[in-house]
Chains A and B, each alone.
Chain A
Amino acid sequence: GQQVMQIPQYQHVQEGEDFTTYCNSSTTLSNIQWYKQRPGGHPVFLIQLVKSGEVKKQKRLTFQFGEAKKNSSLHITATQTTDVGTYFCAVPLSGNTGKLIFGQGTTLQVKP
């Protein structure tokens, strides 16, 4: 079945450093979503990318969808302690109402 590979599994950064997590698929994706899960919390939707080569920004977060629609990245500039958590990419199957297939997640720790 559909799988998305996400790397790295863990990332420890000093506050103020940048952070990037990557998702890769062997098949072309119709779209990809990103979620954040704080420690002990639940996944919270961040964004959906649909178009080839799309770049979207939310304050210090930059999301990219690859030209071939097989990979995506989330980049955080100048991390803050509030960025701590696990970031998951997720692929909706069977259209936008279908199940989400989650990547393994990247857990970000930020040292103050």
Chain B
Amino acid sequence: EPEVTQTPSHQVTQMGQEVILRCVPISNHLYFYWYRQILGQKVEFLVSFYNNEISEKSEIFDDQFSVERPDGSNFTLKIRSTKLEDSAMYFCASLVAAEQYFGPGTRLTVT
């Protein structure tokens, strides 16, 4: 069964550093999303992406965040200057027929 993949599974970075989280959505899906989940809390929407542009973003998704689809398969989330409070699980998801398929997530730890 096709699945969303994410790399790395765990990223440790120092405050102020840039990180890029990578996702490979399911190949025939057209809508892509990033969510984050701070440990023990609910899943929070960050951004949605369609037709090579952002279709919606949350208030969490400020100027420090950006997304790209650099080629036909990868979908990336960049955090320019990480803060301690960016520590969380980051999930990529892609959509077909109203169902969002989530990747396994990247655990980001900012020290």
By a beta-carbon cutoff of 8 Å, the part of chain A in contact with chain B is: 31, 33, 37, 41-45, 48, 88, 90, 92, 94, 96-105
Contact = CB atoms under 8 A, between A and B. Distances in A.
A92 B33 contact: no
Nearest to A44: B102
Contact of B100 (A94, A100, A103): A100
Interface string B77-106: 000000000000001000101111111110
Chain B binding site: helix, strand, loop or mixed by DSSP? strand
Interface residues of B, number: 24
A83 B97 CA distance: 26
Contacts of B50: 97
Interface in B34-69: 35, 41-45, 48, 50, 55-56, 58
Nearest to A103: B42
A102 B43 contact: yes
